[in-house]
Amino acid sequence: MRNFLASNQITIKQSIIFSFVLAIFLVSTSMTNMIHAQELPPTDFDNGTDDASDLFKSNVHLWAPSKMIKGKIYEGLVVLPDASTTGDLVLVTTSDRTVLEISKSITVLPESNHGIFEVKALKEGDARIFVSVNGEVTNTDVRVYSSASKPDKLGIFVPSNGTKANKVPVYVFVLDRNGSPAPVKQDDVIIHLSSSSEMIKIPESVTIQNQTYYARFAAEVNGDGTITASAQNLKSHTINVKRHQENVDVLMGISPNIALQNSQVYYYVWLEKDGKPFRPPYVIDVFLSSNDPKVARLAPRSTSQHYGDGAIHVTMIDGIARGTLFTGDRGSVTISANVDGFGYAQAELVVGPVTFSNGENLFSVQSDLSSNISQINSTSSRIDAIYHPNIALSWVYPAKTSDKAYGVAALYWQNVTRSVNTSMDETNGAEIQSVLSARTLVPLPLDDRTITIVSQQGLVHKTIHQMSQSNRLESTEGKGRLAAIEFELAASNQGDYTISVSGPGLGTSQTKLDVIPQHIESYTIGIVPLPSRPGVLQDLAIVSILDEDG
């Protein structure tokens, strides 16, 4: 479950999924007794089971206040699964016309997917509202009360009792005996809050001000338990909350992971579920940190919050977050990514030349760094004055994708030395010879050369890239040279791809990309109406994204 609020100016379309919190307001109209919403419709009236609504399962969504006051006028909402191209006629009726007076029909305009109808509460009693459109029928229940009364109890409202998000909006209302909002008449009312578990973090209290009737706060839900609201002379209310854990892998890559001093490198954070790319339909908070900002610090962006050189807050959109790091002193550094609600991942980065031995090869270096890699001590500040590129290495992240990935290429000088080691077998005295090898990689700045990127058919990308140097880092950071380029890869077909990078005077290197279907989950939009009063500016509903389990 992911949650947010919606505006009363909203146009609901299936193709749009909102991922932010937006207050939905109720504004006074010229008709002073107009009421737009009450609370979530009940499933029964008398604590018994009412299965009639199960007979009308459809893709059409109907909402109307479940509780109404005699003599008041309300509005109901019909939402179609898709926007109408030519317009649709919606028939509206009620099970008891002595209880409710209702519009007989409404028209959904072209290019819209919803319509609003008027309901007048005539007398006390129970009634059911039916709507029919394009052969589909749905319904909702309404109870009409005689009048509102004084404050009697508290009510807690949340998007859902189960959540996969760690932060949940919570509303506390002062209600009368009918469940309608009852404004505080005298002094402010302090609502005392408590939870049954340390895994549920909430404030100690919230205040409902005089002449108002609700307050809201955020609950951090890291486990299962209850939330209780209590106040003097009001009946308390307790709800259950449960944290559902996502079985999702958080992955991270840094490229190049062997980098030049005072240069720019790229980071990527993405999600996989059941071994497939996973893209939740909402924006996710990601917090990145460096355990040694002197070696690598996080670069601020216009869309991020920066907490010094060691930490940054960014957002993950469409299942991936990406950005840049700035390298500094030589050394090794760990970059960590904490993805809100899913977990964390880490990646290693070495700044400066390295050596690695027999067990390592270029492909393993492009995949991840190991303890067999060690740094080379050097005092030269202009390493490119000593070494010249003889190979271009490449990285591709995410390594598994359903459509798009990002590649990075960087220049290196590499050298492989081999030696023969001779020893004697103590058992039979035979002579044993083994070949030992050591590979040296020295990261180098871009030198304006051209490289060629080649892959199999089915992967779309630019083939020729100019590894152009610029003074961009020098102008923004005071010093530094570019040492890598980033390029996009778009897949038109599924399959395993090999990306080869080469150029004049450069050895060829390869990296892999696996294009597979993404993990698919079904989502729905859930609406929890909030109790409301006529002519009051207030939050009207909580709109959330729900998974198949609600």
Instruction: Judge contact between 419 and 428, C-beta under 8 A.
Output: no
Q: Supply the pLDDT for residue 166.
A: 76
Q: Supply the pLDDT for residue 252.
A: 95
pLDDT, tens digit, for every residue of 323-358? 999 999 999 999 999 998 888 999 999 999 988 775
Calpha distance 392→507 (Å, rounded): 7
Least confident range from 1-10, 216-225, 354-363: namely 1-10
> In the CATH hierarchy, which top-level class contains the domain 2-147+523-546?
mainly beta
Tell me the CATH number of domain 249-515, given options 2.40.50.140, 3.40.50.300, 3.40.630.30, 2.60.40.10.
Answer: 2.60.40.10
- 153-243 and 249-515 in the same fold: yes
pLDDT, tens digit, for every residue of 265-305? 999 999 999 999 999 888 889 999 999 999 998 876 655 56
Q: Supply the pLDDT for residue 311.
A: 85
pLDDT, tens digit, for every residue of 44-57? 333 333 443 444 44
Residues β-bridged to residue 537: none
Instruction: Judge contact between 503 and 392, C-beta under 8 A.
Output: yes
Sequence-distant (≥ 6) Cβ neighbours of residue 385 within 8 angstroms? none
Extract the runs of DSSP E, i.e. beta strands, from 403-521: 404-424, 431-444, 450-454, 459-460, 464-466, 484-491, 495-503, 506-515
- Residue 244, pLDDT > 50, answer yes
Residue range 153-243 in CATH 3.40.50.2300: no
Q: Supply the pLDDT for residue 523.
A: 76
Tell me how far CA of residue 227 lies from CA of 157, 207, 209, 224, 549, in angstroms.
11, 16, 21, 10, 22
Tell me the domain boundaries of the chain.
2-147+523-546, 153-243, 249-515
For the segment 310-314, the average pLDDT, to the nearest whole number, is 86
Number of H helices, E strands in the chain: 2, 45
